[in-house]
């Protein structure tokens, strides 16, 4: 009797994950058909394999039924109708590509016609607005992007051949095939060659097609394609690698459930994101990916990697938020950090070569590891706010006319490195550079509502609190000298800019280029402290002049209340400088410099709902639309 099955990571790519999800989905269908439905099929990532566990043990002798299992729908299109007709077949039931494509176009057009900008954004999904619910019900099937990918990557012939071959089996033959897979995945070491031999014997006995292998297409096997694929390089072979056809059937099912393919904005290049489950039930994974597809729209190449990781984390956090708000308990596997539920995505990048797409790169992108524990409502709400803050910033990083120049690409690359490495140090490079970047953008943008958003001090504090892979950084942020000098940087840059543009207050000079100058000098301590001291000297002199003017006007020594009423800045003291120098004795100069600039350009206030709504007026992502 078996409760646990094993899917070896033989390819070491997303193909293994798709195979595992596909087998879990078939197991779920089998259990249902046998009158023993199982909603708690668990996928767990282990060293060298995936383990799939069912609730009640199952024997091979129980795998008998007179019911056929459709499993997947073939792709129906005018071209496929023509090709199938030549083989004497007529496709009646399946995925009608042209019909679903028209529904997608209509849904996109209707969404763009909404007056309320909130309903035109990906985040509208969380509102559960009746208009959007009806729009989704009238729209295309949820697997439209997957069939679109199959069609655009020119593999509907291979896909349909596999699906129709399965559907062409009798009920007995399908269940004998399931028994074959049952034996294959019951062993910790999957003997695929033995399974192929079993299939050939079965096919001979049943007098059905004996050929056991089909071409392994790139849409589900990203590192497999045409070219020289021989163990010994004694000749060239222009064909692709082959794979056992039943395994390819399972991978296509896993593709429908555990992947999301995209056409990159502004091109015909493609990216496919395949979930990396750590420990999660099949039902939860399916729901999670459905939510993810609804809120993660296409963007540019690097930005989409980042948004995908943040959106997946958001789905996990929102799910936990709803459970806690509704008084539901967390399942045992949900009580662990979210990175122990799903690690992120395997990503395949396909370059459009005109006549076909070619795999150019395979990589991984991790979800944030900022939230080690999310067991209380307060913890989960803080995580949700932080994800919104970072999504809001990343989505708005773009250059003139929505294009990404060198500055934007470098910022996005650094942030992606931060996500992929679970290391906070690259984040300070991003945050300090972003501060200078938004400062320059605001200089040229007259409409305040279109100003780039700042990082918040609260958000930075959360990162410092929970991200301690290379040591605790909280002594830095809690240092009074660090706090006061960061405040001085803020007053001389973003705060002075706001005074000048919005409050008609030009008492204090706006220090353009300050952040960039301090970053340039951050490599060596003496250079950095000299540059910082020069700024602080000018800052204190300017602060003292304004204090003197107000004191003369009031004819008294200024009190704290006078500073507040007259919007005066506070000076930086020698004690503050001494305390910062103590930090420089302990920590690398570059780290202190970048953290100081990051906090200096951060805002003290949290983000309001009105500001989030204003962001919806700027479209930086697009839903799946057409083959372009």
| Domain count of the fold of the chain | 3
Q: Are residues 442 and 359 in the same domain?
A: no
Residue 583 within a domain: yes
Q: Is the pLDDT of residue 257 over 50?
A: yes
CA 413 to CA 231: how far, in whole Å?
36
Residue 239 has pLDDT above 60, yes or no: no
Alpha-carbon 382 to chain mean position: 19
d(CA 196, CA 279): 30
| Averaged pLDDT for residues 541-560 | 90
The per-residue DSSP string of 160-206 comes to: HHHHHHHHHS-HHHHHHHHHHHHHHHHSSS--HHHHHHHHHHHHHHH
Residue 331: alpha-carbon gap to chain centroid: 24
| Distance between first and last Cα of the chain | 51
Whether residues 464 and 574 share a domain: the answer is yes
Same domain, residue pair 411 and 554 = yes
> Which tens digits make up the pLDDT trace of 26-83?
999 999 999 999 989 999 999 999 999 999 999 999 999 999 999 999 999 999 988 8
What's the pLDDT at 627? 46
Residue 72: closest CA among 39, 29, 115: 29
Average pLDDT, the chain: 89
Q: Looking at residue 234, what is its pLDDT?
A: 46
Q: Is residue 11, in this structure, part of any structural domain at all? A: no
CA distance 480 to 200: 75
Residue 612 backbone dihedrals phi, psi, to 5 degrees = -65, -40
Q: What are the DSSP calls for 533-581, one per residue?
A: HHHHHHHHHHHHHHHHHHHHHHTSPPPHHHHHHTTPPPPPPHHHHHHHH
pLDDT confidence of residue 610: 60
Q: What is the pLDDT of residues 474-525, one digit of tens each?
A: 999 999 999 999 999 999 999 999 888 888 888 899 999 999 999 999 999 9
Looking at the structure, tell me whether residues 432 and 393 fall in a common domain: no
**Is 51 part of a structural domain of the chain?**
no
Q: What pLDDT sits at residue 439?
A: 86
Query: Of 500, 505, 517, 488, which is closest to residue 600 (Cα–Cα)?
Result: 488
Per-residue pLDDT at 229? 41
Q: Would 13 be classed as within a structural domain?
A: no
- What pLDDT does 338 receive? 81
Complete DSSP assignment for 534-546: HHHHHHHHHHHHH
Cross-strand partners of 4: 53
CB of 130 within 8 A of CB of 281? Answer: no
Cα separation, 288 vs 333, in Å, equals: 15
16 occurs within a structural domain: no
Q: What was the pLDDT predicted at 500?
A: 86
Spatial contact of 604 and 459, defined as CB atoms under 8 Å apart: no
Do 415 and 375 have their domain in common? no
Query: In terms of domains, do 464 and 566 share one?
Result: yes
Is residue 564 one of the residues assigned to a domain? Answer: yes
Q: How far is CA 162 from the centre of its chain?
A: 31
Asked which of 354, 372, 397 is the last residue of a domain, the reply is: 397
The owner of tokens 């200089």 is 443
Residues 367, 481 within the same domain: no
Tokens of 496: 């002075």
Residue 244 maps to a domain: no
What is the per-residue pLDDT across 294-345, written as a single tens digit (0 to 9) for each?
999 999 999 999 999 999 999 999 988 888 888 766 666 566 678 888 999 9
pTM for the model: 0.90
Tens digits of residue pLDDT in 571-603:
999 999 999 999 999 999 999 999 999 999 999
- Do 13 and 346 touch, CB atoms closer than 8 A? yes
Report the distance separating Cα 391 and Cα 275, nearest Å.
Answer: 19
371 and 463 within one domain = no
pLDDT higher than threshold 50 for residue 230: no
Which band of pLDDT confidence, cut at 50, 70 and 90, is reported for residue 283?
Answer: very high
The domain containing residue 103 runs over which residues?
A: 75-152
Q: Which of 116, 135, 152 is the last residue of a domain?
A: 152
Q: What angle do CA 100, 106, 108 make, to 5 degrees?
A: 105
User: Do 424 and 387 belong together in one domain?
Assistant: no
- Verify that 389 and 406 share a domain, yes or no: no
Q: What share of the chain is helix, strand, coil (3-state, %, to 5)?
A: 55, 10, 30
Does position 100 have pLDDT exceeding 90, yes or no?
yes
242: helix, strand or coil: strand
Confidence of residue 196 (pLDDT cuts 50, 70, 90): very high
Do you know the residue count of the chain?
Answer: 628
Q: Is residue 28 part of a domain?
A: no
Domain boundary among 152, 170, 191: 152
445 lies in the same domain as 319: no
Same domain, 425 and 524: yes
**CA pair distance 75, 148, nearest whole angstrom:** 10
- Indicate whether 232 pLDDT > 60: no
């Amino acid at each position: 009797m078996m409760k646990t099955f094993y899917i070896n990571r033989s390819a070491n790519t997303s193909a293994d994950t798709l195979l595992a999800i596909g087998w879990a989905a078939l197991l779920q269908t089998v259990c249902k058909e046998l009158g023993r439905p199982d909603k708690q099929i668990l996928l767990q990532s282990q060293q060298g394999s995936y383990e799939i566990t069912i609730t009640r043990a199952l024997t091979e002798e129980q795998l008998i039924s007179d019911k056929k299992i459709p499993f997947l729908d073939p792709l129906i299109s005018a071209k496929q109708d023509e090709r199938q007709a030549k083989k004497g077949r007529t496709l009646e039931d399946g995925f009608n590509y042209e019909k679903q494509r028209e529904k997608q176009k209509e849904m996109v057009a209707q969404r763009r016609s909404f007056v309320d900008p909130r309903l035109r954004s990906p985040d509208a999904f969380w509102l559960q607005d009746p208009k959007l619910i009806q729009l989704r019900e009238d729209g295309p099937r949820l697997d439209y992007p997957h069939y679109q990918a199959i069609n655009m990557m020119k593999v509907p012939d291979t896909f349909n051949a596999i699906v129709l071959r399965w559907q062409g089996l009798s009920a007995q033959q399908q269940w004998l095939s399931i028994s074959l897979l049952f034996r294959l995945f019951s062993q910790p070491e999957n003997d695929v060659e033995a399974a192929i031999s079993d299939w050939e014997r079965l096919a001979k006995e049943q007098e059905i097609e004996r050929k056991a292998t089909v071409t392994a297409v790139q849409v589900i096997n990203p590192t497999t394609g045409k070219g020289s694929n021989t163990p010994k390089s004694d000749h060239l072979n222009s064909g692709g690698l082959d794979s056992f056809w039943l395994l390819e059937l399972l991978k296509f099912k896993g593709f429908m459930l555990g992947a999301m393919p995209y056409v990159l904005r502004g091109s015909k290049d493609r990216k496919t994101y395949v979930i990396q489950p750590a420990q999660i039930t099949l039902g939860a994974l399916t729901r999670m990916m459905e939510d993810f597809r609804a809120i993660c729209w296409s963007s540019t190449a690097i930005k989409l990697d980042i948004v995908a990781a943040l959106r997946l984390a958001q789905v996990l956090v929102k799910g936990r938020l709803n459970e806690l708000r509704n008084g539901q308990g967390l399942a045992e596997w949900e009580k662990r950090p979210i990175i122990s539920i799903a690690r992120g995505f395997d990503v395949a990048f396909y370059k459009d070569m005109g006549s076909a797409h070619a795999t150019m790169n395979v990589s991984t992108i991790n979800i944030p590891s900022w939230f080690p524990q999310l067991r209380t409502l307060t913890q989960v709400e803080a995580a949700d706010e932080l994800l919104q803050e970072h999504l809001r910033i990343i989505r708005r990083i773009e250059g003139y006319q929505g294009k990404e120049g060198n500055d934007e690409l470098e910022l996005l690359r650094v942030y992606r490195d931060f996500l992929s490495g679970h290391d906070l140090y690259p984040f300070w490079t991003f945050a300090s550079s972003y501060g200078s970047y938004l400062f320059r953008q605001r200089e040229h943008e007259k409409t305040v509502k279109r100003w780039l958003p700042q990082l918040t001090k609260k958000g930075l504090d959360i990162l410092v609190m929970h991200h301690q892979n290379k040591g605790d950084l909280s002594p830095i942020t809690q240092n009074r000298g660090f706090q006061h000098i960061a405040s001085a940087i803020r007053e001389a840059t973003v705060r002075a800019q706001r005074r000048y543009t919005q409050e008609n207050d030009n008492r204090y000079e706006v220090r353009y280029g300050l952040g960039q100058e301090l970053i340039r000098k951050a490599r060596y301590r003496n250079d950095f402290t000299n540059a910082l001291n020069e700024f602080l000297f000018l800052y204190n002199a300017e602060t003292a002049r304004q204090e003197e003017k107000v004191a003369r006007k009031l004819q008294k020594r200024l009190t704290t209340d006078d500073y507040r009423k007259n919007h005066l800045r506070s000076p930086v003291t020698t004690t503050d400088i001494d305390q910062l120098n103590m930090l420089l004795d302990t920590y690398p100069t570059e780290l202190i410099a970048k953290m100081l600039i990051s906090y200096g350009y951060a805002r003290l206030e949290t983000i309001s709902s009105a500001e989030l709504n204003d962001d919806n007026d700027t479209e930086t992502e697009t839903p799946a639309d057409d083959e372009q």
